[in-house]
Amino acid sequence: MKASKSKPTVNIGLCGFGVVGQGVWRHLKEKSEVFEKKLGSLFKISRVAVRDMAKEREIDLDPSLLCEDPLEVANDPEIQIVCELMGGTEIAREVVLAALSKGKIVVTANKALLCFHGKEIFEAARKHGGHIFFEASVAGGIPIIKALREGLIANRFSLIYGILNGTCNFILTHMEKEGQSYEVILDEAKRLGYAEADEALDVDGWDSAHKASILAFLAHGKWVSTDEMLVEGIREITQEDFAYANKFGYSIKLLAVITRDFETDRLFINVQPTLISRRKVLANVDEVYNGICVCGDVVGTTFYMGEGAGQNATASAVIADLADAVSVLNGSKHPLFSGEISPVEPNEENSLKVSTLGEVMSKYYIRVAVMDIPGVLAKVATILSNNGVSIASVLQQEGTDGTGASIVLTTHKTSEEAIQKMVKDFETTDSVLSPPVLLKIGEFED
Ligand code: NAP
Ligand code: HSE
């Protein structure tokens, strides 16, 4: 009988043992034999850094593994793979840079970190021979990073758009389908482990923006900062908007849209609540699911859907990165993740510019709460016309208390610059009761 060869052990350090960290731990333990067979290596979690060692957790850890300084984990010479699962952009940055400076492999789920410090992190990987993997940073369990970097390598991408935030989609679904209140569903999203520690990142659109910046980097080789994007969240959307959307045959989704015009060499990222026709697949992606359409010049349109947040979906993506990390330890090259190459030709990156707001065109839904007095509709129409915004349809609805009314308009294609000037004019008009609610009308050919 042949003696079985002992498998090499891969030492992993977890920085962060919250929703994601505990999910990774659990699945690595439960499937250790499967991973051993599939990857030919044994995963061993050797150290775990947390903020509060006394905290009660779902998983009881051997206390000797725990520490409160994630840099101890990053610098531990025994640890080959450092998983940064803490969140935030300060200590997380230090930890990732410390590990990369030692030539280690880093796996992170932290989209904010990559959006703000991606350039520096890739440069550190290149300089010191480290690797950075980040499948869990965008769209939870959907392997979208792998799809862009490998499966779709033959393509240039004129359009990538989709639902990138599970928390917002969960909230919008329950508001629309069950009439639940925003606050109640947000609490449920937090309880289920979907929301960020700072939930404003989710509901104000920033988390989607961070994820879009990562996708744009992979697709176009340029890090676009959030200052250069148009980012709006979902806080202002009410049941009234769902009722109007329903009447017109639309769903409301928070969409991130990455548009590249190859003729003018312009790139733009916007994150905005958007009306999309119920006939579109994306309009029917509900609950915590994310959905992403990637339009490539060779492949055409491809669509990806899966759970976008939560312990299991995210752990699945982190473990996919651990598998890639094992292949690096076994000698494989991943030049993109070691910062050796850029996702696109360098000359393309250099000439690429972000579009101005005057160049970004869309149709809009506008709901304005006004006093129910003579001439108010004419005033609203004048504000639009003064800003060159052309009305496609208009509807006025009496308020239930007899004092106010809602005017709901849709526009023809107009520039974002004109829309922003129009909003300012509404703010200084006395018969307008509150800032208008704006929803983009998404027109996508899929
Ligand atoms: P979480 O539940 O809040 O867990 C964060 C963990 O990090 C906790 O264990 C915390 O320690 C630890 N931590 C925070 N600051 C620390 C510090 N300074 N030193 C040591 N430990 C520290 O967060 P999460 O939901 O797991 O998210 C982690 C990361 O994954 C974030 O970047 C998030 O954006 C990303 N992500 C999350 C999801 C999701 O669905 N939750 C999906 C994709 C990506 P204590 O436990 O002691 O407080
Ligand atoms: N808070 C994020 C979301 C977690 O809800 O999508 C996944 O990145």
Residue 356 belongs to a domain: no
**Hey, whose CA ends up nearest to atom 1 of ligand 2?**
195
How remote is the CA of residue 16 from the centroid of ligand 1, in Å?
5
CATH at 31: 3.40.50.720
Host H or E run for residue 382: helix 376-386
Residue 355 belongs to a domain: no
Report which residue type is found at 123: E
Catalytic pick among 104, 111, 211, 280: 211
Residue 151 and residue 47 in one domain: no
C-alpha distances out from residue 100 to 121, 128, 262, 342, Å: 8, 7, 35, 18
Residue 352 belongs to a domain: no
Handedness of CA 137, 141, 147, 150 (dihedral sign): positive
Residue 303 and residue 331 in one domain: no
Residue 126 and residue 77 in one domain: yes
Residue 122 and residue 227 in one domain: no
Give yes or no for residue 113 CB within 6 A of ligand 2. Answer: no
> What pLDDT is recorded for position 343?
84
Is the whole model's pTM more than 0.85, yes or no?
A: yes
Q: Which residue has the tokens 């029917």?
A: 284
Host H or E run for residue 273: strand 266-277
Nearest by Cα to 440 from 295, 144, 231:
231
**Hey, whose CA ends up nearest to atom 16 of ligand 1?**
51
Show the domain range for 203. Answer: 144-307
Residue 232 belongs to a domain: yes
How remote is the CA of residue 208 from the centroid of ligand 2, in Å?
8
Residue 384 and residue 262 in one domain: no
Out of 20, 113, 164, mutate this one to test ligand 1's pocket (max ligand atoms within 8 Å of CB): namely 20
Give yes or no for residue 166 CB within 6 A of ligand 2. Answer: yes
Give yes or no for residue 167 CB within 6 A of ligand 2. Answer: yes
Full 3-state SS string of 194-223: CCCCCCHHHHCCHHHHHHHHHHHHHHHCCC
How remote is the CA of residue 18 from the centroid of ligand 1, in Å?
5
Residue 253 and residue 327 in one domain: no
CATH at 223: 3.30.360.10
Residue 300 and residue 321 in one domain: no
Q: Which of 268, 284, 307 is the last residue of a domain?
A: 307
Strands 361-371 and 414-415 come out as: antiparallel
Residue 345 belongs to a domain: no
Q: Exposed, middle or buried, 430 (CB in 10 Å: 0-12/13-18/19+)?
A: exposed
Structural tokens at position 88 = 């935030």
CB 113 within 8 A of CB 92: yes
Q: Exposed, middle or buried, 155 (CB in 10 Å: 0-12/13-18/19+)?
A: middle
Number of neighbouring beta carbons within 10 Å of residue 177: 12
Pocket of ligand 1 from Cβ distances under 6 Å: 16-21, 49-52, 55, 70, 85-87, 91, 109-110, 136, 140, 193-194, 196-197, 309-310, 314
Give yes or no for residue 308 CB within 6 A of ligand 2. Answer: yes
> What pLDDT is recorded for position 100?
98
Residue 215 and residue 286 in one domain: yes
Distance CA 109, CA 137 (A): 4
C-alpha distances out from residue 2 to 5, 34, 42, 164, 255, Å: 9, 21, 20, 50, 57
Structural tokens at position 433 = 């009761």
* CA 390 to chain centroid: 32
Structural domain tally of the chain?
Answer: 3
Residue 203 and residue 303 in one domain: yes
Q: Tell me if residue 29 is catalytic.
A: no
Residue 166 belongs to a domain: yes
> What pLDDT is recorded for position 60?
87
Residue 427 and residue 369 in one domain: yes
Farthest CA pair distance, the chain: 96
Residue 129 and residue 160 in one domain: no
> What pLDDT is recorded for position 1?
44
Residue 183 and residue 295 in one domain: yes
> What pLDDT is recorded for position 191?
97
How remote is the CA of residue 147 from the centroid of ligand 2, in Å?
19
pLDDT, mean of each 10-residue run, the chain (446 residues): 70 98 97 92 96 92 95 98 98 98 97 97 95 97 96 95 98 95 96 97 98 97 95 94 93 97 94 96 97 97 98 98 95 87 72 91 94 90 95 86 84 95 92 91 84
CATH at 404: 3.30.70.260
- The CB-side HSE value for 264 (13 A sphere, CA atoms) comes to 12
